[in-house]
Structure 1
Amino acid sequence: MEDMPESSLVGEVEVEVEIKAPAEKFYEMYTGKAHHVAEATPQNVQACDLHDGDWGTLDSVIVWNYVHDGQEKVAKERIELVEPEKKLVKFRVIEGDLMDDFKSLLITIQVSPEQGGLGSVVKLHFDYEKIHENVVHPETLLPFFVQMIKEIDQHLMSEE
């Protein structure tokens, strides 16, 4: 964040969600099997399509069709970082409805095994820059993602 201008246009928000699924399974859902997210949380995500590259690889481009605040939306994202050993992936939104409000939006997802080996913790982090002062901060995206994370967790646990 050092190279971004300091202003109320730039910010970050994050949330942590405890899940029952193993960290590896959840991480794999967002990297190698992102196209299965729509099966796990169909009221939030209608489709996830690979536009360029390979699932879960650097510089791959993924298009998400989703519903947020009751409205159908689209987001095109490029994978900027994949660190399987840390179960960390970063997606940069490069096109779509979110770009109406943000100059930049970087979504980081990291999954860590829970201490004691039961379940995991999903950390979701947004770094963003709004296009102008009147744009609301992306806090409304947090409950949306928390619901998705919980439904993906239920889906993964029902597979066992």
Structure 2
Amino acid sequence: MSLVGKSEIDVEIKAPAAEFHEVISGRPHHISNVSPAHIQSCEIHEGEWGKPGSVIFWNYTHDGVPETAKEIIEAIDNEKNSTTFKVIEGHLLEKYKNFHIVVQATPKGEGSLVHWTFTYEKLHENIPQPQGIVQLALGMTKDIDAHLTEQKA
């Protein structure tokens, strides 16, 4: 059995792709205001908001448990509305040797399609797929969408 895995989820939203991407890539510290059940805080530890190479620290709730993650922003592609994160510290690395997250928003009709990709390597074969993190991303995406579309109503 392979220890390397990939989980993906697509979420249709009403908000424009570029606006969703701007929150994820440039203003992640605002997510705790719009999705407090999922994200309690996001702080910058190195670099600048919205810049590749920056290190951000998250306090979040995963499967009902408060957890933390430190991530480096590996890439931001504003043309493709895509942001790539690599987890460098935190609870996820207790189960996974490495963990990457790619978030891409693509225009679709009057809204967008947000595609989350989680790639990881488990520390051993008894580690489950990260379904709790996938559900966290789903909830957070819906909260951000509600916030962005409520502002226009």
Classify the TM-score, shorter chain.
over 0.9
1:112 corresponds to which residue?
Answer: 106
Which residue of 136, 150, 153 maps to 2:142?
Answer: 150
Deviates more, 1:76-85 or 1:134-143: 134-143
Q: Deviations over 1:10-54 (max 9, x none)?
A: 010101000000011100001111110001100110000011001
Per-residue deviation at 1:74? 0.2
CA distance in 1, matches of 2:17, 2:137: 17
Which residue of 14, 29, 33 maps to 1:35?
Answer: 29
1:75 corresponds to which residue?
Answer: 69
Q: Is 1:20 matched up with 2:14?
A: yes
Per-residue deviation at 1:140? 2.2
CA distance in 1, matches of 2:9, 2:63: 19
Which residue of 122, 125, 150 maps to 1:133?
Answer: 125
CA distance in 2, matches of 1:121, 1:22: 9
2:79 corresponds to which residue?
Answer: 85
- Which residue type is aligned with residue 157 of structure 1? T
Deviates more, 1:7-16 or 1:57-66: 7-16
SS of equivalent residue, structure 1 residue 28: helix
Q: Is 1:94 matched up with 2:63?
A: no
Which residue of 60, 63, 75 maps to 2:57?
Answer: 63
Seq. identity, %? 45
- Which residue type is aligned with residue 129 of structure 1? E
Alignment RMSD (CA, Å): 0.9
Unaligned runs of 5+ in 2: none
CA distance in 2, matches of 1:8, 1:144: 25
What number of residue pairs does the alignment pair up? 152
- Which residue type is aligned with residue 141 of structure 1? I
